[in-house]
Structure 1
Amino acid sequence: FSTVRKNGYRAGNSVFSSPSSPNEEEIRFLEAAEYGDIPTVREMLSSPTLNTSCVDFMEQNALQLACGNEHFEIVELLTQGKSMSRIGDALLLAISKGYLRIAELLMNHPSFRVNQRLTKSPGELMLLDPESDFYSYDNDGTRFSSDITPIILAAQCQEFDIVYELIRRGATIQHPHEYKCQCADCTHMRRNDALNYCLSRLNAYKGLASPVYLSLITADPVRLALKLSHELTRMADVEKEFKKEYLKLVTQLYDYLEKLLDICRNSEEVNAMLSGNERRKKTSRKETRDSRLNQLKRTIKYGVKGFVAHPNCQLRLIEIWNGHLTWLRQLSISYKFLLAVGMSLSMPVLSIVFFLAPQSMVARTMRSPFCKFATHGMAHAQFLMLLVLNCIDRVEWFKSSPPFAFLIHQTSEHGRHTEFNWCEVFIMLYTAGLLWNEVTELWDDGPRNYVVQLWNILDFFLLVILITSFVASRLSKDWKVAPHLYKSTNPVSVIKSCYNIYLYIYKDFFLNRSHWIGSDPQLIAEALYSLGIVLSFTRICYILEVSEKFGPLQISLLSTVGDIIKWCGIFFMIFGAFLLGLFNLYSYYGKPEAKTTKAFTTIEETFITLFWSLFGLADYRGVEVKYDHQWTRIVGYQLYGAYNIITVVIMLNMLIAMINRSYSDVQVDSDLEWKFARAKLMMSYFDNGNVLPVPYNLVTIP
């Protein structure tokens, strides 16, 4: 609108041109309005020669001067007399100064009933009636932008009473279109004045994000504030030029949500805050333990940590976490641990009771979030114990101990599996239970919500690795290949000539592990199983989020993952550049008589040398050549030295600094970060599904 305003009203004047000077009568009239001289103003309004629309050297008319100095009687006289211009500007001025009486007086003026002037901006009204003097469409005549409406200004100024009066009269803030909107209005504004387009959107968002406006415009301000904060966060990523302003509005909304919890006086009001007034829509098969937590789920999704970590919200979470077992709150950690162990040991009996009497007191107790967490955590601990027992027979001390003779891992002398032992059977049973848990969670939450959880991705890879390992172990039992596929074929040929049929079935048992091919299923199974053990133990970090002592440390560890990923993006570009450069320089010296070592002669050797040089374990003499090629030697030393300076001295220290910063950021707000992470963990146990831990969950529950 600024382009139209300038073309229509300022085409003949320079920006620095001085306004026309008022005469003596107009000067006297303007001074009387400015200083509140009621008799003089009343007398001069009856003069037929007075131009009531005259302006001073600041382009302010009498109505604007009276509003700016809060002269209510003068404003009342001016609006009752002759037709007065710039009533809209006067209202904006009164709103900006918080003069409620003057604002109400102007809002009741008949001129606001035309063309919905109370709800439209000056720019919109100018397009409807270019000849109107309701607003000053000249930059010198007003201090407000052409896209500012009275309610936007009142909301930005946090004027509660004025916003209420405007809303009562039907004024609302129009929500900006999507940033990439291709409608005619948005396209026109972007092409003509991109700055005005962005500022108009920002002004509208400032009004929408006002706590006063949110409190008056909707019965569910929490839901609207969360939705708006999410939108503003996206806008901060899109409009990088105004990122700071948008993030400031997001922080303002977060503070508003926390203050709403501060004023809650009892549990009923807290429940109302966490519930919202929208009708609950069934988005999944999963039934929520308490529908009043739907609002809390949304705050966790949008990352409103202050709201989730608020004492009132945390207290409500603890109440639901303990369920009807209110005495749990008085127990210490050690007693809770003993209770979890006792429930785990009695789980076979509890599962039968839960299956036969799902509505009994025992079943109700097992459905409480605390009991679910305790039994599931102990089930995972049992799974880890099985993994340890399955490996313990290969430890020398346990091999010679008679009590551990029942843990025989393999019956073949050379390490070939003949059958699964009891420990592996239980591991497969637990794996099947974990698989069923993931399938039900995927079905309940949907693929989109499932993949956004880091621990779900970890569980998925854990199951894929373990299942593949078990399948490969099974294939190893019946592994049949031709003898020439093995490294040593002569012994096999001799045996085959004598025991052809016997060899066909059992030949793999006669061969030592050193004769196995690299793609042997047993080797693949062992490698995958090792990865599965590592991933299984990392799952403990998920349980540690409940602990106040270990939780912040685990959160700090996860927060550094993002820094490491960003660092790796830069590091691998540098690493790849030096890898190709050094390989290209020394690839022609691959013969033993050319170099003393194999460093840099192949891609593999170059990668190994550069990688271990990060830890000071590579030989710097790898750049030497036996030939008298000084230029190659000099360039090689320079490249290798530059690589060590950039990666070891600069990049590694940069990584340490980034990790230290992330750790410090978490430790500064360690209590907030821990409570937010604990709330996310608690919410995962608030649903009625997956009551029984693995492997008891394989039993179909009615």
Structure 2
Amino acid sequence: QVPTLMMDTQFSEFTPDITPIMLAAHTNNYEIIKLLVQRRVTIPRPHQIRCNCVECVSSSEVDSLRHSRSRLNIYKALASPSLIALSSEDPILTAFRLGWELKELSKVENEFKAEYEELSQQCKRFAKDLLDQARSSRELEIILNHRDDQSEELDPQKCHDLAKLKVAIKYHQKEFVAQPNCQQLLATLWYDGFPGWRRKHWAVKLLTCVTIGLLFPVLSVAYLIAPKSRLGLFIKKPFIKFICHTGSYLTFLFMLLLASQHIVRTDLHMQGPPPTIVEWMILPWVLGFIWGEIKEMWDGGFNEYVHDWWNLMDFAMNSLYLATISLKIVAYVKYNGSRPREEWEMWHPTLIAEALFAISNILSSLRLISLFTANSHLGPLQISLGRMLLDILKFLFIYCLVLLAFANGLNQLYFYYETSASEEPNNCKGIRCEKQNNAFSTLFETLQSLFWSVFGLLNLYVTNVKARHEFTEFVGATMFGTYNVISLVVLLNMLIAMMNNSYQLIA
């Protein structure tokens, strides 16, 4: 008989919500967990973090700490490697989903963020350690090609599409994907048809890549004519496809370079110029890019498509190209003849098309950064760049607050002293004049002035006024100087420190 004292919760070492299997899972006791699982003892799954059922609401209202602690104890038990291995039909998938769920919980339960993140890392390590147990390439292929929706009517070709690896990528399981066994299998599939590629001399590698890259038009035509032929199957190999796509994209960038250099002479004052030969040659690539994005969205789904930053960049790039083509068609149909560019209206379709085409050229060139992942030296730099961009966004949030604060103050101080263009030298008004003036006359002009002052493009005399109001000038100069100290000395150095930390995490 259990003594009454031990049954009293006040003298118990554990809270009432902890069951024997939970206690065994907390200590990762394999034998006890196995014994309890064989007797069909289970751990109930907790409700969703945002659940509004009567049970969750009442429990949280009575004792919110006990409610949160009870949830944490359950997840601490569910994350036990021994429990996952003994109770799950697919331990790797269970570890993936549980790790993702714990990571999401850490964003909501801020008070227990460290505990949930540690449990998430524990699940990731368990999935990685399971993959470590593979002793041959055959076992590794079976694990990585395993699907959780196996059925008789399933397409046999889809059983060799690395389904488990795709799930790992979906749940951001970096440790699992970066595991040496997994990477070796990926390298074997990547260099299919090129045995011993890594051991070859760099000159042989370069010559092979250049040759295949130059032959990509021939290989593409052969694939279109006979996709099942030997040559058609050759171009479907991952490494060959990568080289051909890279060669095609470099050719596209070369065409953009030719278009920007205006090698084809045209009338610069033509309001609706017809497309040049180079622009006609660029069009098939643009249509191909658009078709590729549509196909990727159709195959992978909209949610997966928008979660890839490169896809969003491709969408923006293709949208700009489509807008450019549309505006050029409008200009060609609507306008006839030549007219000096100085007399064109600001929103002329040709001018807007040229501006959009220039922006799309920049995005197209920057898209090459995605190829860095194919190189072990440049790949980490690309990841660091992505983290740094997030740091810059955080920095811009603080900087915009500082910018708006000082812009509002300076505009309030100086808008009384606004002058007209006729009162200024050369009838020029604004900070783009040879002698800058009216830098803080309007809120928009003040925002521009403060932004460009970060790059040293604004002179101190813009704080002067024509009236002899020395106190106003002193206050304005002090505010302007304080802004520069905060933005350049404090915020800029903070940004450098943040970016350096992001780089160190990857390097």
| TM-score under structure 1 length normalisation | 0.67
Contact 1:340–1:375 at 8 Å: present in 2 too? no
For residues 253 and 408 of structure 2, what CA distance do their matches in structure 1 show?
Answer: 43
**Are 2:316 and 1:461 aligned?**
yes
> Quick check: 1:649 aligned with 2:489?
yes
Q: Which has the higher Rg, Structure 1 or Structure 2?
A: 1
Match of 1:353 in 2: 222
Letter in 1 for 2:444: E
Is this contact kept in 2: 1:271–1:292, CA < 8 A?
A: no
Query: 1:239-638 residue pairs with structure 2 within 5 A?
Result: 239-276=109-146, 278-280=148-150, 291=160, 293-393=162-262, 407-410=263-266, 412=267, 414=269, 418-480=273-335, 505-506=336-337, 509=338, 511-591=339-419, 597-638=437-478
Query: Closer, same or farther in 2 for the Cα pair 1:193/1:276, shift >3 Å?
Result: farther
Give secondary structure in 1 for the equivalent of 2:61: helix
- Deviates further, 543-552 or 223-232: 543-552
State the AA in 1 paired with 2:32.
Answer: I
| Change beyond 3 A, Cα 1:420–1:287 | farther
Listed one character per residue, the Cα deviations across residues 77-113 of structure 1 (whole Å, up to 9, x for unaligned) are: xxxxxxx115xxxxxxxxxxxxxxxxxxxxxxxxxxx
1:445 alignment partner AA: G
Shift of the alpha carbon at 1:334? Answer: 4.4
Gap change, CA 1:276 and 1:188, over 3 Å in 2: farther
**Structure 1 Cα separation of the partners of residues 132 and 313 of structure 2:** 38
Find the aligned partners of 2:225 and 2:76 in 1 and give their Cα distance. Answer: 59
Cα separation, partners in 2 of 1:518 and 1:333, compared to 1, 3 Å: farther
For residue 177 of structure 1, what is the aligned residue in structure 2? 47
1:528-552 Cα shifts (integer Å, max 9, x gaps): 1111110010010011111122221
1:205 counterpart SS class: helix
Question: CA 1:358/1:643 → structure 2, altered by over 3 Å: closer, same or farther?
Answer: same
Report if aligned partners of 1:340, 1:374 keep a CA contact under 8 Å in 2.
yes
Q: Offset at 1:582? A: 0.9
- How many correspondences in the alignment? 494
Structure 1 residue ranges, 4+ long, deviating more than 4 angstroms after superposition: 285-290, 592-596
1-structure distance, mates of 2:324, 2:396: 30
Contact 1:299-1:307 at 8 Å conserved across structures: yes
Tell me the residue number matched to 1:149. Answer: 19
Report the residue type matching 1:339 in the other structure: T
Which deviates further from its counterpart, 309-318 or 616-625?
616-625
- Which SS does the other structure have where 1:252 is aligned? helix
Q: Quick one: structure 1 residues 204 and 292, their matched pair in 2 at CA, closer, same or farther if it must change by over 3 Å?
A: farther
Is contact 2:84-2:95 (8 Å) kept? yes
Taking a change above 3 Å as real, the CA distance of residues 239 and 173 of structure 1, as seen in their structure-2 partners, is same
Taking the aligned partners of 1:470 and 1:138, their CA distance within structure 2 comes to 75
Point out where structure 2 has 5 or more consecutive residues left out of the alignment.
Answer: 430-435
Q: Equivalent residue of 2:383, what SS? A: helix
- CA contact under 8 A between 1:223 and 1:276: conserved in structure 2? no
Maintained 8 Å contact 2:79/2:98: yes
Kindly indicate whether the alpha-carbon contact (under 8 Å) linking 2:404 and 2:447 is maintained by their aligned counterparts in 1. Answer: no
Whether 2:36 is the aligned partner of 1:166: answer yes
What is the TM-score when the length of structure 2 is the normalising length? 0.92
Distance in 2 between residues matched to 1:305 and 1:639, nearest whole Å = 48
Q: CA deviation at 1:474?
A: 2.9
Whether the 8 Å CA contact 2:216–2:248 is kept in 1: the answer is no
* 1:660 pairs with 2:500: yes
CA 609–390 in structure 1, closer or farther in 2 if over 3 Å, else same: same
Q: CA deviation at 1:524?
A: 1.1
Q: Provide the C-alpha distance between the structure 2 equivalents of 1:413 and 1:270, rounded to a whole number of angstroms.
A: 62
| Contact 1:220 1:277 (8 Å CA) reproduced | no
Displacement of 1:365 after TM fit?
1.4
Deviations 1:283-324 (A, max 9, x none): xx9997654521111211222211111110001111222234
TM superposition shift of 1:415 = 5.8
Unaligned runs of 5+ in 1: 1-83, 87-132, 394-406, 481-504, 668-702
User: In the aligned structure 2, how far is the partner of 1:176 from the partner of 1:390?
Assistant: 61
SS in 1 for 2:483: helix
- Aligned-partner Cα distance in 2 for 1:569–1:597: 29
Q: Sequence identity of aligned pairs in percent?
A: 35
Query: Structure 1's 615 and 280: CA in aligned 2 closer, same or farther, altered over 3 A?
Result: farther
Q: Distance in 2 between matches of 1:153 and 1:367?
A: 53
SS in 1 for 2:7: coil
SS at match of 1:537: helix
Query: Greater relative contact order (Cα 8 A, min sep 6): structure 1 or 2?
Result: 1
Change (3 A) 1:413 1:157: closer
Matched position secondary structure for 1:539: helix
**Two-structure CA RMSD over aligned residues (Å):** 2.4
Task: Determine whether 1:231 maps to 2:101.
Answer: yes
Please say if residues 95 and 123 of structure 2, whose CA atoms lie closer than 8 Å, have aligned partners that are also in contact: yes
